[in-house]
Amino acid sequence: MTEPRIHWIDSHCHLDLAVFDLDRALVLKRAQALGVRQLVIPAVTRRGWSQLLHCCTASPALYPALGLHPMFQDEHTKEDLIALERALDDPTVIAVGEIGLDFHKPVPDRSTQQDFFRCQLAIAHQASLPVLLHVRKAHDVALSILRQADVCGGIVHAFNGSLQQARQYNDLGFKLGFGGMLSLPQSRKLQRLVRDLPLATLVLETDAPDLSGFGHQDQRNSPEFLPEYGRCLAQLRGLEPAALADIVCSNTCDVLRLH
């Protein structure tokens, strides 16, 4: 394999999950050989935090984030919030995430999700850390909570809202994450959105093992595919991949304070 000249960052990758247990080191090695030099690993539930932190000790390329994911609200308790505050003493943790709101299914716990979101925003701000947001069918509610909170910026992962909502997140110091969905033929609206947004607001992600892009729909998504998604974004923006990669990497490093 030739030495990659392009440097990519996967700003959202669940490499800690069990689905990578059999080949995690190999997947990381292959992704790195393709130029993916840094990967941010966001958490889902407190139960997974120790495995996540352990997984990230395998390589300095892996950056852990800790938080309580809104899709798993049933599993979270008030004690988890106290545990989160304490867990952020670990200096390797670079962000609080993934946190947010998910109103996709008619769930009875919308107000609990909002309480946990507010609390985790406060915990992140107290620790001076950015946040990784998961927001589905709830952008206006999330934006109004963010406006009332103190935040150190962050990333809205797998963004799929409107241009107006995107701009409101940008005004609050947020970048927007895009990945495999960009490469699907049915993603016209998303493709138009990434053409209209300022380049300085875009970051790349896979969300592996979910949200596989074109050519991989039946496969486990993987950080190895990030350069493909990056080339797709470059094409949509009419840029050379190397030029696009430089911009999105510096966007990611700025907002997450990586170096």
Binding site for Zn ion (CB under 5 A): 207
152 residue type, one letter: C
52 or 119: whose CB is closer to Zn ion?
Answer: 52
Three-state DSSP at 200 gives helix
132 residue type, one letter: L
Residue 46 to residue 83: CA distance in whole angstroms: 8
Residue 202 to residue 196: CA distance in whole angstroms: 11
Q: Least distance (Å) from Zn ion to the CB of residue 12?
A: 6
80 or 207: whose CB is closer to Zn ion?
Answer: 207
207 or 228: whose CB is closer to Zn ion?
Answer: 207
**Per DSSP, what are the bridge partners of residue 1?**
none
Cβ-based neighbours of 112, under 8 Å, separated by 6 or more: 73
CA distances from 212 to 71, 179, 180, 230 (A): 19, 8, 5, 13
Say if CB 237 and CB 244 are below 8 A apart.
yes
Residue 184 to residue 212: CA distance in whole angstroms: 9
Q: Least distance (Å) from Zn ion to the CB of residue 4?
A: 25
φ, ψ dihedrals at 15, nearest 5°: -65, -15
Q: Least distance (Å) from Zn ion to the CB of residue 134?
A: 6
211 or 233: whose CB is closer to Zn ion?
Answer: 211
Q: Least distance (Å) from Zn ion to the CB of residue 40?
A: 10
179 or 230: whose CB is closer to Zn ion?
Answer: 179
Q: Least distance (Å) from Zn ion to the CB of residue 98?
A: 5
Q: Least distance (Å) from Zn ion to the CB of residue 104?
A: 14
Say if CB 241 and CB 233 are below 8 A apart.
no
* Beta strand 8-10 pairing with 131-136: unpaired
52 or 202: whose CB is closer to Zn ion?
Answer: 52
10 or 207: whose CB is closer to Zn ion?
Answer: 207
Q: Least distance (Å) from Zn ion to the CB of residue 132?
A: 8
